[in-house]
Amino acid sequence: MADYVPSKDADFSEWVKLLLLYVQAHLTAFNISSEALQPVLALQIAFDAAYAKTLDPNKGSVDVAEKNRTRQDLTRVLRAFIKGFLLYNPLVSSNDRDKMKIPTHATTHSPVPKPSTFPEYSLDSSVPNRLALHFWDSATKRRGKPRGVHGAEIRWEIKEEPPIKAEDLFNSDFATKTPCIFDFTGDKRGKTVYFCARWENPTGSKGPWGTIANAIIP
């Protein structure tokens, strides 16, 4: 299947705006909390500001690099949001997905079993402003994902108080290989970030959440 994310910046910017407007208008219908959408909206604002600077004839290489970085961040978080809240959400119809210009998956039953185990992980803080989450299966203890699993959904958030459950973490990423890298800006150094993960098979069926871990941003 061809990538649904537009390659040209102008098309990408327009697609993101229309998609997010559609989601915002259907939050209740899709049973999505407004908090879950906030990280995507924040990155959209950052990308649009950076992209606007590159449209100036006097733009510099720094402006282009910032646009590329913010687009990469927005794309990563938006893909995770789409995968976690829209692609397999039974409240989102095929017509809804067509209007948002995201893939529509077949609804036939898949023989791939739902994951029964969960990811365990360690957090490497050896690089400033970066955390590397290395994961392995709770049953096999082998590094990486188990057989029949597409990847790990990772929820995370910088919080002052420990979360009670994974659903209290509103940022979402998806990793198909270990480690999963998280880069932070310098103003986040010294803050505590919490993580929780679960396996997902190729058809979107999810396993149980693992334990919640935390680390200090180096």
For the chain, the structural domain boundaries read 9-100, 119-216
Amino acid (1-letter code) at residue 136: W
Q: How confident is the model at residue 50 (pLDDT cuts 50, 70, 90)?
A: very high
Number of Cβ within a 10 Å radius of residue 178:
18
**Best CATH choice for the domain 119-216 from the list 1.10.8.420, 2.60.40.10, 3.40.50.300, 3.30.2320.50:** 2.60.40.10
Query: Within 13 Å and on the Cβ side, how many CA atoms surround 12?
Result: 19
Percent of the chain at pLDDT > 70 equals: 95
pLDDT of residue 114: 86
Q: What is the pLDDT of residue 116?
A: 92
Q: What is the pLDDT of residues 94-121, one digit of tens each?
A: 899 999 999 886 555 556 788 999 999 9
Residues 16-43 as b/e (b if ≥16 CB within 10 A, e otherwise) read beebbeebeebeeebebeeebbebbeeb
pLDDT digits (tens, 9 = 90+) for 172-192: 888 888 888 888 888 899 999
Environment class of residue 152 by beta-carbon count within 10 Å: exposed (0-12), middle (13-18) or buried (19+)? buried
Which of 43, 41, 38, 52 shows the shortest CA–CA distance to 70? 43
pLDDT band at residue 1 under the 50/70/90 scheme: very low
Size of the chain, expressed as the number of residues it contains: 218
Find the helix or strand (DSSP H, E) in which 126 lies.
none
pLDDT above 90 (res 148) = no
What is the structure's pLDDT at 105? 66
